[in-house]
Amino acid sequence: MTKKIIFYLVIILMASEFTRGQVISIIPLPNQYEKVNHTFVINERTKMIVRDSTSLSEAHYFKNQLLRYTGIPINSENGKGSFIVLQRRKIPDTKEGSYLLDMDSDTAVISAADDKGIFNGIVSLLQLAIHSKEEDNSLQIPCWNIQDSPLFAWRGLMLDESRHFFGKKVVKEILDQMALLKLNRFHWHLTDATGWRVEIQKYPKLTLIGGIGNYSDSLAPAKYYTQDDIREIVAYAKTRHIEVIPEIDMPGHATAANRAYPQYSGGGSGKYADFTFNPGKKGTYTFLTNILKEVSVLFPSDIIHLGGDEVSFGSKSWTEDPGVQRLMKQQQLKNLKEVEYYFFKRMTDSALQIFSKVSAWDEATGAGLPVDSTIIFWWRHDKPEQLSKALNKGYNVVLCPRIPLYFDFVQDSSDIDGRRWNGDFNPLVQVYDFSVDSLPTAKHHSQQILGIQAGLWTETIQTKKRLEYMLFPRITALAEAAWTDEKNRNYEGYLRRLKEELPFFTQRNIYFFDQFSPNKTPEVVDE
Ligand code: TNX
C-alpha cells in the first residue's frame, strides 16, 4: 500500500516537474506555442540580422532593452555566436501584429508581415531572454516555436494626470511596462476639473493658471507638460509601438480651463461650480477648435478623445444663461440633453476637419455622431443598454467598464483606500477573466469591438508608489485579457507565470500587490 502511494507521489512530482519545464515565460500568453528541446544562447557574440531596413528601429529597441535588463551588449561584427534574424514576409496569420518566432540552438527567427508583428515577436524573445538563466555572461534561453496573433487591436491603458500629475519619468516607466506586455494604446486624460496639463501656445493661461492645484491641494504650484515634453513622450511611445491618444474633456469637467478663461464658462452647480464650457457662445467653439489644432500637431495618432462624460453634473446652470436660451430657441432644442448633444456634434464636426477619428465616453452615443469616424468608450458597467445602443447604431467600441477595468477600484477585500461599487471591486482574477462573451450584445457585434482598456483615475493616487500598487499586477492580467484568446486563457497557468514575474518587478523598482503573500506588500495609502 505504502509502495503504491510512493509510486503515485513520484509520478505526481515528475508530472509537475514536467509541467514546470513547459512554462513559457511570456505574459500575455502566446496563442500557439510548442517547446523545442534546445537552448538558444545570447551573449556578446550574438548578431542581429535585419533583412529589412524598416525593422531597424525594432532591432535597436531589442538591443537597448536587453542591455538594460540583462547587462549584455549584443553588437557582434563577425558573427561568431548565435543569430537573431528579423524578416518581413507573409505569414499564416493575417491580423496586424501577428508574428512567428522560430528558435533552435543557433538562431532565433522572427517573421511578420508588418512592423507591429516584428515588434511583438521581439518583445516575446526579450521576455524569454530576461527570464532565462545567466551563466558566464551568456543567457541560456529555452527554445520555443511560437505562432501568435493578438485577440484585439486596441489594448489600452488610460492615465488621468489631471487629478494628480506624475510627470515624464513615471509616464515613460509605464510605457516601458506596457510595451513589455504588448499593450499598444495609451489614452492620456490631460484635462479635467482639477488641472489642465497640456501647454497650448495660443492660450498660455490654460497651464499657467489652469495647471495650478491637484486633487489633494488646490494651491499646489502649476504642473503640466510643455509641448516639448509631449513630443518626447509621443516619440518614446512610438519606439514601443504605442499610440498616444490625448483626451480634451468637454463640455463637462472643464473647471480648470474655466479658471483660466472664464469667458467660455457655462457655469455649474454646487460642488461642480464652473464645470461646463458654454455651448451658447460662438467664441467657445472657436476657442476649443484652436486648442484642438495645436493638439493635433503634437499627437500624430489622428484620434482625439473629446470626453463628453457626466455633463449633467454642471449643465443645470445653462437654463439661466441667455446665450444658451437663445441657442435653444434658434436650434429648437427641447432640453439640456439636446443642448449637450448639439454642442458635442458641433465640436465633433470641427474635430473631424482636423483629425480622422473622434472618440468619446458612452454618453455621446445619442448625439448623432458619424458612425464611421467615431469610437465609443463604454465605461458605465451598470448601463449595459448603453453598450447595446452604441453597437446597434453601428459604432466601433472600446470596452472599459468600471467593473472590472477601473484600476482606481480596490483589488483586495482588505484594501481601505480606493473605490468600490455597492461593495464590488476589481480583484486580479476578475480582470483576467474579463470576456466579451459575457456581454451578450458585444458577442453578436464582435467585429465592432476594437478592444479593451483599463482606466487609472487618480483621485486617490498621489504618489508613484501607490500608482504602481494599483497598476501591478493588474496590468499583466489586462494584457492577457486583451491579447490571448479566451480558449487559451487559464488563470492558474497565468498565476504561475506571474509568480515568476514578481522578482523582476522588484528588480525594476516597481512596487506591486503580492497576490501570493499579501502581507509582504502592504497597501499604499496616500494621505
Ligand atoms: C468616472 S470614467 C469618471 C471620472 C472619474 C472616475 C473615477 C469617466 C468617463 N468619468 O471622472 O475619475 O469615474 O472612477
- Write out 500-526 in H/E/C secondary structure: HHHHHHHHCCCCCCCCCCHHHCCCCCC
- Exposed (0-12), middle (13-18) or buried (19+): which is 356, by Cβ within 10 Å? exposed
- Write the DSSP symbol of residue 100: E
For the chain, the distance separating the N- and C-terminal CA atoms, rounded to the nearest angstrom, is 61
Cβ atoms of 265 and 277 closer than 8 Å = yes
How far apart are alpha carbons 224 and 218 in whole angstroms? 15
Ligand 1 centre to CA of 102 (Å) is 44
Element (H, E) at 157: strand 154-160
Ligand 1 centre to CA of 55 (Å) is 39
Cβ atoms of 155 and 184 closer than 8 Å = yes
Ligand 1 centre to CA of 33 (Å) is 39
Partners of 5 in the β-ladder: none
Closest residue CA from atom 10 of ligand 1: 309
Ligand 1 centre to CA of 71 (Å) is 41
Tell me how long the chain is: 527
Closest residue CA from atom 4 of ligand 1: 457
Q: What is the pLDDT of residue 51?
A: 87
406 CB less than 6 Å from ligand 1? yes
- pTM, full prediction: 0.95
Name the grid cell of 32. 500557439
Q: What is the pLDDT of residue 3?
A: 61
**How do residues 269-315 score in pLDDT, each as one tens digit?**
999 999 999 999 999 999 999 999 999 999 999 999 999 999 999 99
Alpha helices in 52-143 (DSSP H): 56-70, 115-130
Cβ atoms of 386 and 362 closer than 8 Å = yes
Q: What is the pLDDT of residue 54?
A: 85
Ligand 1 centre to CA of 26 (Å) is 32
How far apart are alpha carbons 358 and 307 in whole angstroms? 10
Ligand 1 centre to CA of 256 (Å) is 16
403 CB less than 6 Å from ligand 1? no
Atom of ligand 1 nearest to the CA of 160: 12
152 CB less than 6 Å from ligand 1? no
318 CB less than 6 Å from ligand 1? no
Atom of ligand 1 nearest to the CA of 379: 2
196 CB less than 6 Å from ligand 1? no
Closest residue CA from atom 13 of ligand 1: 457
Contacts of 498 (CB under 8 A, 6+ apart): 27, 473, 476, 515
Evaluated on CA atoms 435, 444, 93, 450, the torsion sign reads: negative
Please identify every stretch of the chain with a pLDDT value under 50, giving residue numbers as ranges. 10-20
How far apart are alpha carbons 224 and 118 in whole angstroms? 35
